[in-house]
């Protein structure tokens, strides 16, 4: 009996040792930690992977940074949100593309701005297992950085207005309490807006109307062009009807609530302005649970005699007039509801003022020293001689003034994100 008892005890100890080995070295069954997925979020006027004749937003002609990262062992996907929509609408669209389901813009939000509450349905989510245990790291370009910040805020804090409007029928994203984003990296993002919006309004009088009735109207009014570039304005009903001629369609677009105040503030043009960005920064806070990184770009250099900024030789030709105008613009007198623009705003990358890219105004920020910290914006520096689209590979063919390659940055940064605890 004693021998049998000892044998039983030995087997129990052996089984316990084996279980301990599995827990320590192999992980618990079914709980092995997969790599966090990187999610790309494009900027203003951006597009999805199947649009623009296959030219990738993230990579440009002949390049594909999403495929590059996947091939290197970094799981990566990209969302395709409304190219001219507000950051609220874009953030909600990104959520449903990742998680699946029919887009719910929120009852209170839809009522306030006069568009439909529900949008497109996504039956095949990009990340069906996305939850508080399977987090994502976001890399966002331009307006995409603002969109990502709104997404993080809604996930963690939700929306009191939406909860009050719909009670127990409130969409998950508006309930808050979710920590599903590990890090956010912004590239050339106008955290505090861009003065380009002021220049555009000075030329067109109403930039929103020009975009919606012009470019968007033309694209959405053509079945062929809408396959090439999708403005994703379904919530506004801006889709040409099968029995509708172009003249009737354009008239309906002009009469749409999308262009009426305050509805016009539910568009990217407002969010990208210095005043709209200030409003956004007033309610979208920096999360203490997220690692933040920002990379800035600049394609102008200072003229010491005038104090203005002029485009460098590597600046894309199409952006030269814009870079020059932004480099000389200032408006130091702030009026009611208007942001003062001093000389610090003159340096730019042809689309966004470099001073606006580092972090949202009022946020804690420091230069990155190689030791990641949560809740603080960590400045990765400024790539000088790089215009706004260079960093995503769109206008960069070669840079005689700077030998860096964006592909190297994405690979190195993805490795950094993978090491985050």
Alpha carbon dihedral 159, 107, 46, 216, in 10-degree steps, equals: -150
Map tokens 């618990």 to a residue. Answer: 28
- DSSP lists the bridge partners of residue 40 as 78, 139
Q: Does 262 sit behind a cis peptide bond, omega within 30 degrees of 0 on the bond before it? A: yes
Map tokens 């029919």 to a residue. Answer: 102
- C-alpha 342/C-alpha 403 separation (Å) is 32
By annotation, the residues acting in catalysis are: 142, 349, 388
Map tokens 């079945």 to a residue. Answer: 223
Please spell the DSSP secondary structure of 22-86, one letter per residue.
IIIII-STT---PPPEEEEE--TT---TTSGGG-BTTTBTT--HHHHHHHTT--EEEE---TTB-
Please spell the DSSP secondary structure of 379-395, one letter per residue.
EEEEEET--TTGGGTSS
Please spell the DSSP secondary structure of 304-320, one letter per residue.
TTT--EEE-TTS-GGGH
Please spell the DSSP secondary structure of 349-360, one letter per residue.
SSSSBGGGSS--
For helices 196-204 and 320-328, give the axis angle rounded to 10 degrees: 110
Specify whether the CB–CB gap between 242 and 267 falls below 8 A. no
């Amino acid at each position: 009996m004693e021998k049998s008892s000892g044998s039983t005890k030995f087997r129990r100890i052996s089984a316990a040792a084996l279980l301990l080995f599995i827990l320590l070295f192999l992980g618990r069954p079914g709980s092995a930690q997969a790599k966090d997925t990187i999610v790309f979020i494009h900027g203003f006027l951006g597009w999805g992977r199947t649009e623009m004749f296959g030219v990738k937003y993230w990579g440009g002609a002949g390049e594909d940074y999403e495929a590059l990262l996947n091939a290197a062992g970094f799981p990566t996907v990209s969302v395709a949100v409304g190219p001219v929509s507000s950051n609220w609408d874009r953030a909600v669209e990104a959520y449903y593309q990742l998680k699946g389901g029919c887009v719910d813009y929120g009852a209170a939000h839809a009522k306030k701005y006069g568009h439909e509450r529900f949008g497109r349905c996504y039956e095949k989510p990009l990340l069906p297992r996305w939850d508080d245990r399977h987090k994502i790291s976001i890399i966002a370009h331009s307006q995409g950085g603002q969109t990502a910040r709104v997404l993080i805020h809604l996930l963690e804090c939700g929306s009191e207005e939406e909860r009050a409007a719909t009670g127990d029928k409130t969409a998950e994203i508006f309930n808050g309490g979710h920590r599903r984003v590990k890090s956010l990296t912004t590239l050339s993002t106008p955290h505090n807006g861009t003065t380009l919006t002021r220049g555009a309004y000075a030329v067109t009088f109403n930039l929103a109307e020009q975009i919606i009735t012009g470019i968007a109207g033309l694209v959405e009014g053509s079945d062929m062009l809408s396959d090439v570039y999708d403005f994703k304005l379904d919530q506004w009903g801006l889709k040409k009807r099968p029995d509708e001629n172009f003249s009737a369609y354009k008239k309906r677009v002009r009469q749409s609530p999308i262009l009426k105040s305050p509805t016009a503030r539910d568009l990217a043009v407002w969010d990208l302005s210095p005043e709209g960005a200030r409003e956004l920064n007033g309610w979208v806070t920096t999360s203490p649970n997220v690692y933040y990184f920002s990379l800035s770009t600049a394609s102008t250099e200072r003229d010491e005699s005038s104090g203005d900024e002029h485009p460098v030789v590597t600046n894309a030709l199409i952006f030269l007039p814009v870079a020059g105008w932004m480099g000389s613009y200032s408006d130091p007198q702030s009026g009611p509801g208007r942001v003062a623009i001093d000389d610090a705003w003159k340096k730019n990358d042809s689309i966004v003022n470099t001073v606006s890219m580092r972090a949202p105004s009022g946020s804690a920020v420091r230069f990155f020293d190689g030791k990641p910290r949560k809740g603080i914006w960590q400045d990765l520096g400024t790539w000088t001689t790089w215009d706004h689209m260079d960093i995503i590979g769109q206008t960069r063919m070669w840079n005689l003034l700077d030998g860096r390659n964006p592909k190297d940055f994405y690979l190195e940064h993805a490795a950094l994100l993978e090491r985050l605890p």
